[in-house]
Structure 1
Amino acid sequence: MSLARLPIIVGFGGFNAAGRSSGHHAYRRMVIESLPELDRQETIAGLAVMMGLVVFADDAYRDLEGNILSLGEIETRFGGQVLDGTLIRRIDKSFFDVDAAHWQKSATLGAGDSPLVFEIRKRDLPEPVPSDWKLEPMEDGDRVRVTAPSGLEVKFDSYRDLPVKSAGQLPRGFNPGSLYNSHYHPRALQLAVIGASDAIQSTGLDWQQVMDSVRPDQVGVYASNVMSQMDENGFGGLLQSRLKGSRVSAKQCPLGLNTMPADFVNAYILGSVGQTGAITGACASFLYNLQAAADDIASGKCRVAVVGCAEAPIVAEIIDGYATMGALASEEKLRKLDGVEEADPRRTSRPFGENAGFTMAEASQYVVLMDDALVIELGADVHGAIGDVFINADGFKKSISAPGPGNYITMAKAVASARAILGDESVCKRSMIQAHGSSTPQNRVTESQIFDQIAQVFGITGWPVAAVKAYVGHSLSAASGEQLIASLGIFKYGIIPGIKTIDKVADDVFAERLQISTSDQLCRQPLDVAFLNSKGFGGNNATASVFAPHVVESMLQRRYGEAAYASYDDKRKDVRTVATAYDRAALQGNFSTIYHFGEGLIDESLIKVDCEHVNLPGFVQAVDLVFANRYADMCN
């Protein structure tokens, strides 16, 4: 029996309402009250630079007047603005005005029994002219007088108050498109580029060295989004152009496709010719992509995988859609819930508390996976590993958005699988849950009931439960990526973020065997495994197990022996040095975003093919064409 290869997380990155993911900075923003002073100040300084409040120049942090600032001075002067301009908050006017969102109101102009008479330029006449209109040329020759017996239907520009006013947005003042040449790119693709680039650089590895170490077809990119690109540079502009009387651009249709968060990574960041996939499963999409990548690595089909999702749904039409479903936390609902005249825009997402719906968010989260042999060979760092990812549907459904039985299966299988690999002690005493925690009344009951029942079956008590949507909102396809990034931070710092947007756990939550805290909790002992749980519209359920770095390192030592592991550890020191250098530069605002447009193109005339190989110019290794017959027992 051949042994499975372990999919190890060697890098991670992205951007969300808490800031930059690599270096654990987004996680650190969530637990900032519980951090040591230096970590807290570094994270605030990095956010201040992202937000344009502070610059780094001539080897020092400076205010906009050029005065040198210490980390402590940055915190004192700008800490309040940083905290206020991150996480969930009132939607910034850079998106649209939630108090006066643009729409069009239909009306019929007429004068009762009398025909409507108006003047218009000839070139502005509709095509074709309505058959009952009478046109009379005017003296200037450029205009006509129109008599419309039945009146005229028109649409007036109008503005209305949106019921939903909060979202998880990138730090205030941070423009993702400014980090590279992003002309005409929809916002979700901007997030994909900077997120994937952040993850790649966080590895501390030279990417060319990685590519030279594997065959070209052994690199995979698995990424997608749910809502596609719905702003004016994507499908939003495409669908609105005719109604607005404008032209469709050549970029709106192709850039709108929901495969672009993978395609852009292949085409402009990695230059990969390997496996590609863009799987969607509603709010569980990140885990769907993660499963495909982890399975391909475990089987040996793929040796390096970049996995992620990038979503930018803070668009009035999308918010309208979810709000009309009753899925979002509106101001009116929150005011009634709290018995106040004005709702708190920062406390709209309340997993497992008295809540009123979820809060929309934008985010980009990517991780880099490698098989264990390549990790040992290259000295790649270990941030965790993927145990298993399970996906199950709900069966027959009365409502496409309602929860169902599929999540019982995924959660039970994930816990059982982790127990088979790590043992009872790890699962029962050193594990935690990253809940879907969408902040809807139905979710808090149904998801907690699943956790409680699984805990009872496996003999778990005091099971820690975190819900990062309380901080960053619900980024749809990227939501499970947010859970994974937060878990890596918990493994490193041992602090489980509390659900600080609730006063207490709701009475109808099944919490007898769960530990749901309203404040940050320090782990009594290092965690071995985190379970990421995700529930999506349509019955898209997924649960993953993620192993902590110390568990993975122990597994590597057993598989490769002490001598090989010691050699690996020596190589890893240099990799960590490079990763740390990138982190320091990014804290200072130098992200060095990877974006290769029109560079390194493959000259197809130089491709060489024989019966055993495909050789591509620019790639050290060839694609192997020698295959064994997997169905030998069925063939002559």
Structure 2
Amino acid sequence: MTSARTHRLDVAVTGLGLITPAGNGVDDNVERVWSGRSTARGTEALAGLPVDFSCQVEDFDADETLGRRLALRMDRVSHLGLAAARQAVTDAGLDPSTWDGARVAVVIGTSFGGSASFEREHETFLLRGASVVSPQLMTMAPVNMTAGFIAMDLKALGPNQVVSTACASGATAIGLGRMLLGSGACDVVLAGGAEAALTRTGIASLAKMGALSRRTDDPAGASRPFDAQRDGFVAGEGAGVLVLERAADARARGARVRAHVSGFGASADGHHPSAPHPDGAGAERAIRAALADALLEPRDVSHVNAHGTSTPMNDVTESRVISRVFGEHPVVTSTKGVIGHLIGAAGAVEAAYTVLAVQNGSVPPTANLVSLDDDVEVDVVAKEPRRLRIGAAVSNSFGFGGQNAVLVVTSA
């Protein structure tokens, strides 16, 4: 008979890096996300498509941030991921020139990798022939390359992994990073997600399958999680990276600890390529597994950062799962109303927002929530932030293929 576990693994979040439609860095993101102002707008590269708007990263110059020589070798997804990783390391007060790189791991989640480079070079191939296709495509497009470039740039020479669980990728990466620390395989993990897949082909496909909002006359009001008039999500791009360390190690070096990642749960729906399980069975298993990993009861959780995509099926199904597991007491939000759906980066960026909510005692509002859907029976924050002392919070991430990942964040 196996005895019940009595000790949980509290992993310290000592650094955050955020490059998102809400801004470049933590402060810009807090200002925009906590104000509840949408970032969606018409997108020139999507002109002429049935859905011609998105949430783009603005005011980010890869040449200026990374250096032109390095930037030319990378897809935009790696530009965003590496910039977020550099930010996170600086925020953690770590110096790659002095750390033991062999004890530093990288785990990055992404869904599409360098799809923009692949689409561009495929068009070149069709229009101009094989002789002008870039030889660098094979080091720009693969999904592993963002993690690889981070390792090269920051001399993070320990385990280097990429996970791809669709829209749960970033959260899965953080969960796996925590496992690496628990196993003793490394002492520091740069964990998160990156995505830059606002390509014409990708957006056309998402629009054709009915996943995207069609509010072309009102992009800023298009992403409206839990609202009765929601009609789909708004695609976005961005990156979020967290520096994770064992809590004892962080204390020993005198690091500022923003919060702890104290639990992780994952599951598969085994139901449908794109639709959630009708009663949310897989999501519920992941949530309960994360709570068990954190040695917490549902009553201990006061905030849920929902996956909250603004699609008709997800929002009702997820709200029912939240209500079934936690009851009516947790304060719920979805930050996709501001930044859209960052696909493979969504779980990492939303985990970072959950860390900030726990650290600052403030839950950001769900943008564009005007009239709560009658079938949504949870306490969703709207219009303005809500002050709240948060001992434990949950961040939900669900993806195509029925892949679910849930993180538990606790106060430091």
TM-score normalised to the size of structure 2?
A: 0.91
Aligned with residue 323 of structure 1, among 204, 207, 222 = 207
- Residues 33 and 364, structure 2, Cα contact 8 Å, conserved in 1: yes
SS of match in other structure, 1:243: helix
Whole-Å Cα distance in 1 between the matches of residues 209 and 9 of structure 2?
43
Once the two structures are TM-superposed, the CA of residue 441 in structure 1 deviates from its matched residue by 0.4
SS of match in other structure, 1:306: strand
Quick one: which amino acid aligns to residue 95 of structure 2? D
1:378 is aligned to 2:330: no
Once the two structures are TM-superposed, the CA of residue 210 in structure 1 deviates from its matched residue by 3.4
Q: Deviations over 1:57-101 (max 9, x none)?
A: xxxxxxxxxxxxxxxxxxxxxxxxxx7xx722222x3xx251xxx
Whole-Å Cα distance in 2 between the matches of residues 32 and 407 of structure 1?
29
Quick one: which amino acid aligns to residue 529 of structure 1? A
Whole-Å Cα distance in 1 between the matches of residues 367 and 210 of structure 2?
24
Quick one: which amino acid aligns to residue 516 of structure 1? V
Whole-Å Cα distance in 2 between the matches of residues 300 and 2 of structure 1?
19
1:401 is aligned to 2:274: yes
Q: How does 1:31-430 map to 2 (within 5 A)?
A: 31-32=34-35, 87-91=39-43, 93=44, 96=45, 98=47, 161-171=48-58, 173-181=59-67, 182-211=71-100, 216-231=101-116, 234-246=117-129, 247-268=132-153, 270-331=154-215, 343-353=217-227, 354-395=229-270, 397=271, 399-404=272-277, 405-418=281-294, 420-421=295-296, 427-428=298-299
- Residues 177 and 187, structure 1, Cα contact 8 Å, conserved in 2: no
- Residues 311 and 478, structure 1, Cα contact 8 Å, conserved in 2: yes
Once the two structures are TM-superposed, the CA of residue 5 in structure 1 deviates from its matched residue by 5.0
1:494 is aligned to 2:361: yes
SS of match in other structure, 2:315: helix
Once the two structures are TM-superposed, the CA of residue 377 in structure 1 deviates from its matched residue by 2.4
Whole-Å Cα distance in 2 between the matches of residues 296 and 546 of structure 1?
17
Deviating beyond 4 angstroms after TM superposition, the runs of 4 or more aligned structure 1 residues are 1-5
- Residues 235 and 256, structure 1, Cα contact 8 Å, conserved in 2: yes
Quick one: which amino acid aligns to residue 403 of structure 2? N
- Residues 88 and 166, structure 1, Cα contact 8 Å, conserved in 2: yes
Quick one: which amino acid aligns to residue 306 of structure 2? A
Whole-Å Cα distance in 2 between the matches of residues 3 and 485 of structure 1?
24
**Matched residue, 1:452:** 323
Q: How does 1:547-586 map to 2 (within 5 A)?
A: 547-549=410-412
Once the two structures are TM-superposed, the CA of residue 517 in structure 1 deviates from its matched residue by 2.6
- Residues 349 and 501, structure 1, Cα contact 8 Å, conserved in 2: yes
Whole-Å Cα distance in 2 between the matches of residues 245 and 361 of structure 1?
30
Quick one: which amino acid aligns to residue 90 of structure 1? G
Whole-Å Cα distance in 2 between the matches of residues 210 and 473 of structure 1?
36
Whole-Å Cα distance in 1 between the matches of residues 367 and 312 of structure 2?
17
Whole-Å Cα distance in 1 between the matches of residues 96 and 155 of structure 2?
10
Once the two structures are TM-superposed, the CA of residue 477 in structure 1 deviates from its matched residue by 0.6
Whole-Å Cα distance in 2 between the matches of residues 237 and 394 of structure 1?
34
Aligned with residue 29 of structure 1, among 32, 41, 45 = 32
Q: Deviations over 1:347-389 (max 9, x none)?
A: 1111111211111001011011111232122111101111111
SS of match in other structure, 1:208: coil
Quick one: which amino acid aligns to residue 269 of structure 2? D
SS of match in other structure, 2:220: coil
Quick one: which amino acid aligns to residue 23 of structure 2? G
1:515 is aligned to 2:401: no
Whole-Å Cα distance in 2 between the matches of residues 180 and 454 of structure 1?
44
Q: Deviations over 1:440-496 (max 9, x none)?
A: 00111111111111124xxxx332101010000001011011211211221233221
SS of match in other structure, 1:543: strand
Any gaps of 5 or more consecutive residues in structure 1?
A: 34-82, 99-160, 333-342, 550-636
**Matched residue, 2:345:** 478
Quick one: which amino acid aligns to residue 169 of structure 1? Q
Once the two structures are TM-superposed, the CA of residue 429 in structure 1 deviates from its matched residue by 5.9
- Distance change >3 Å, CA 97–CA 360, structure 1 → 2: closer
SS of match in other structure, 1:257: coil
Q: Deviations over 1:171-192 (max 9, x none)?
A: 3x43233312212422111111
- Residues 109 and 192, structure 2, Cα contact 8 Å, conserved in 1: yes
Larger radius of gyration: 1
- Residues 34 and 385, structure 2, Cα contact 8 Å, conserved in 1: no
TM-score normalised to the size of structure 1?
A: 0.60
Once the two structures are TM-superposed, the CA of residue 227 in structure 1 deviates from its matched residue by 1.0
Whole-Å Cα distance in 1 between the matches of residues 369 and 9 of structure 2?
42
Quick one: which amino acid aligns to residue 528 of structure 1? G
SS of match in other structure, 2:304: strand
- Residues 221 and 275, structure 1, Cα contact 8 Å, conserved in 2: yes
Quick one: which amino acid aligns to residue 245 of structure 1? R
- Distance change >3 Å, CA 264–CA 184, structure 1 → 2: closer
Whole-Å Cα distance in 2 between the matches of residues 410 and 484 of structure 1?
15
Any gaps of 5 or more consecutive residues in structure 2?
A: none
Whole-Å Cα distance in 1 between the matches of residues 111 and 46 of structure 2?
24
Whole-Å Cα distance in 1 between the matches of residues 269 and 6 of structure 2?
34
Whole-Å Cα distance in 1 between the matches of residues 157 and 96 of structure 2?
14
Aligned with residue 14 of structure 1, among 14, 18, 23 = 18
Q: Tell me which of the two structures has the higher relative contact order, counting C-alpha pairs closer than 8 angstroms and 6 or more residues apart.
A: 2
Once the two structures are TM-superposed, the CA of residue 309 in structure 1 deviates from its matched residue by 1.4
SS of match in other structure, 2:105: strand
Whole-Å Cα distance in 2 between the matches of residues 392 and 21 of structure 1?
31
Once the two structures are TM-superposed, the CA of residue 165 in structure 1 deviates from its matched residue by 2.3
Q: Deviations over 1:484-521 (max 9, x none)?
A: 12112212332211123121111222x1xx21132224
Once the two structures are TM-superposed, the CA of residue 328 in structure 1 deviates from its matched residue by 0.7
- Residues 468 and 482, structure 1, Cα contact 8 Å, conserved in 2: no
Quick one: which amino acid aligns to residue 412 of structure 1? R
SS of match in other structure, 1:331: coil
- Residues 433 and 531, structure 1, Cα contact 8 Å, conserved in 2: yes
SS of match in other structure, 2:288: helix
Quick one: which amino acid aligns to residue 10 of structure 2? L
- Distance change >3 Å, CA 444–CA 6, structure 1 → 2: closer
Once the two structures are TM-superposed, the CA of residue 207 in structure 1 deviates from its matched residue by 3.0
Whole-Å Cα distance in 2 between the matches of residues 495 and 10 of structure 1?
19
Identity %: 26
- Residues 177 and 190, structure 1, Cα contact 8 Å, conserved in 2: no
1:439 is aligned to 2:310: yes
Whole-Å Cα distance in 2 between the matches of residues 400 and 97 of structure 1?
26
